[in-house]
Amino acid sequence: QIQLVDSGGGLVQPGGSLRLSCKVSSPYFNVFTMSWYRQAPGESRELVASISRLGSTHYLDSVKGRFTISRDNGQRIVYLQMTSLKPEDTAVYYCHAKIQESYSWGQGTQVTVSS
């Protein structure tokens, strides 16, 4: 069973920054596609950003230019650097690890953007 531990969320003012981290327990981390999803109250969970094992990235249109996903294969951590945060970025953010048809979720970390 792969364990993912999300951290780094919090309360931030509009325009501020946060960095989320996701620590993965599996020694096969380097072959996973890693992603960050988010879910706001009353909304469906949506894909925010993903990074392949080769480092190719994909972003939700509304976060392009503001969010950056990266991975440290040696430490088995995936990051989501979030800048220029907006109130509409408020959500629970979840880390996701996938290889072929197998996947796991982190427990989620709350991000609240408010003045």
**What does the alpha-carbon distance between residue 76 and residue 19 come to, in Å, rounded to a whole number?**
16
Give the model confidence (pLDDT) of 12-44 as tens digits. Answer: 999 999 999 999 999 899 999 999 999 999 999
10-12 and 4-7 strand pairing:
unpaired
**What does the alpha-carbon distance between residue 67 and residue 76 come to, in Å, rounded to a whole number?**
20
Specify the 3-state DSSP secondary structure of 104: strand
Local confidence pLDDT in tens for the 115 residues of the chain: 789 999 999 999 999 999 999 999 998 999 999 999 999 999 999 999 999 999 999 999 999 999 999 999 999 999 999 999 999 999 999 999 999 889 999 999 999 999 9
**Length, in residues, of the chain:** 115
**What does the alpha-carbon distance between residue 51 and residue 54 come to, in Å, rounded to a whole number?**
8
111, 39 contact by CB (below 8 A): no
